Amino acid sequence: RWGYSRKIVELYEPLRGKIQDAGLAARSIASLGAAYFRLGETHLAIECCKEVVKLAAEAGDKDYQSLALSRLGITYRSIGRIDEALETFEQALEVARAVNS
């Protein structure tokens, strides 16, 4: 399991910033962030989540933006940053509601 996460980092990190399509870049960086999270590199996972939120917004993909915000909230919660987690979950909910209205 950990070996796969390290392999994902090795494969995806060099692609970061090189994928022109915002939607595809968001998905690539989301995979990278998930790998960092599994490796316990939460500061890097947070950085990736924030980048994914921005890219998903640029791509107009509110569903993925909401998902990325949720993952960011989970990461904050995992390291005890409860206030930031709650704020981020509220943002995710707001974006999700906008999709369904």
Residue range 12-36, pLDDT digits in tens: 999 999 999 999 999 999 999 999 9
* b/e burial code for range 11-23 (CB count within 10 A of at least 16 → b): ebbeeeeebeebe
Encode pLDDT of 37-93 as tens digits.
999 999 999 999 999 999 999 999 999 999 999 999 999 999 999 999 999 999 999
Locate 23 and state its tokens: 């939607």
**pTM metric for this prediction:** 0.91
Provide CB contacts within 8 A for 24, sequence distance 6+: none
Sign for the pseudo-dihedral over CA of 33, 39, 42, 43: negative
Token pair 């316990």 in the structure block, residue: 40
- In words, the CATH class of domain 2-99 is mainly alpha
The domains of the chain are located at: 2-99
d(CA 45, CA 95): 21
